[in-house]
Amino acid sequence: MSVSKVKFLKPALVALIMLAGLSTKSVLAAPGAPLEQDSIRKLFGQVMKVMEAMHAPLQFSQSQLDELAENAQSLIDPKTKKPFRARHGEPLIYYVIDPVGSCSMDIKRTVLFMGGIHPDEVSPLYTSFHALYMLLENPYARPENTRVIYIPLANPEGLIESGTRLKVTTRENSEGKDLNRGFEESDKKTMPEVAFVKALIAKYNPSHIVTLHAPYGWLDYDGPAKLPHAPADVKKEVEEWETQVSRAGAKPLPVAKDFGSYRGSMGNYGGYRLHKHVLTIEYPSTEGRKAEEEWRDYGGSLIQSLNPPMHNEPTPPMAYDVSGQSLHLRASMPGR
């Protein structure tokens, strides 16, 4: 069985992959801007300490940490001509995960995943790291003809600063800013973490974006399929994507209807300003004590979300700003 044959990962198969830890080493895409391995290993060491304090120990072995560090990539900030870093110097890293044995001609689409933008959502962050390692190690988990741009921790400064200083992770960064409300700010006000994510979107032009949050316990879509007069085939494809993701875990996740989006969030920015398909996976709990349980219950849904249906070739993002057509736009308030 090869990953090229996998259209929809059944829950039983996902569970088998997760439990058995099937492993095939592979060569990932060429690395981006160089980063000192010491700074990346330091980052992972700090993350592991905080996660353990939050009752969600990652428990990676040293060899696993080495592999995560070696495959991490960075992106050059065009303003500083140096790799993007968070406010206190934490490296902002991502991973390029291609199908096994693929070449550039085989890549038909790109999906971007963003995790860890809200450090207080500990259970989803646990899944973010474990799913990353599973994708690096296991070809059966990777979608066909798809490049995955994977950001496991979009807000490392917020996680490390609050987890170390306050002994409890907070939603915001150390300046008290919610990064998931900053995607539509002017360039002068944009935080480096947000600028990093936006630069990755500009570089790789994903057709689909997946984000992981808590605690609503559902799936929520934002994007062109929700706009007035959206083509029927686009709506159908998105509904198929939602259905597959909903059923892929050991437990189902319901699909939210008409939830809307928050101004400045990735859902509103990516879905209605960039006209990309944005799916938010909401875990039922933020708590670290629920992390392992929710990884087993819903990790399959995350893996499946990276493999959206592709009946039509992805279209380039629309050139005009359609954010004004956002349905049920919510004011900035507590929530994802």
pLDDT given for residue 15 in this prediction = 53
Please indicate, yes or no, if residue 134 is contained in any of the structural domains.
yes
Residue 124 sits in a domain whose CATH number is 3.40.630.10
pLDDT given for residue 174 in this prediction = 85
71-98 average pLDDT score = 94
pLDDT given for residue 4 in this prediction = 34
* pLDDT tens per residue across span 204-216: 999 999 999 999 9
**Domains contained in the chain, number:** 1
| Alpha carbon 76 to its chain's center | 20
DSSP secondary structure string for all residues of 112-165: EEE--SSTT-HHHHHHHHHHHHHHHH-GGGSPTTEEEEEES-S-HHHHHHIIII
Please indicate, yes or no, if residue 335 is contained in any of the structural domains.
no
25 closest CA partner among 61, 64, 62, 58: 64
Residue 57, phi then psi, degrees to nearest 5: -60, 135
* Residue 13 reports pLDDT greater than 60: no
3-state secondary structure 17-56: HHHHCCCCCCCCCCCCECCCHHHHHHHHHHHHHHHHHCCC
**What end-to-end distance do the CA atoms of the chain give, in Å?**
38
Domain boundaries, position 307: 3-330
Residue 192 pLDDT grade (very low, low, confident, very high; cuts 50, 70, 90): very high
Q: Which residue has the higher pLDDT, 70 or 329?
A: 70
Please indicate, yes or no, if residue 63 is contained in any of the structural domains.
yes
pLDDT given for residue 300 in this prediction = 96
Across the chain, mean pLDDT equals 84
* Residue 134 reports pLDDT greater than 50: yes
Please indicate, yes or no, if residue 310 is contained in any of the structural domains.
yes
304-324 average pLDDT score = 57
* Residue 153 reports pLDDT greater than 90: yes
- Side by side, which strands form the sheet with 95-97? 95-97, 146-151, 109-114, 208-213, 277-282, 219-222
pLDDT given for residue 5 in this prediction = 36
pLDDT given for residue 333 in this prediction = 33
> How much of the chain is in helix, strand and coil states, percent to nearest 5?
40, 15, 45
Please indicate, yes or no, if residue 61 is contained in any of the structural domains.
yes
Q: Which residue has the higher pLDDT, 1 or 231?
A: 231
136 closest CA partner among 104, 94, 106, 108: 94
Please indicate, yes or no, if residue 336 is contained in any of the structural domains.
no
pLDDT given for residue 9 in this prediction = 52
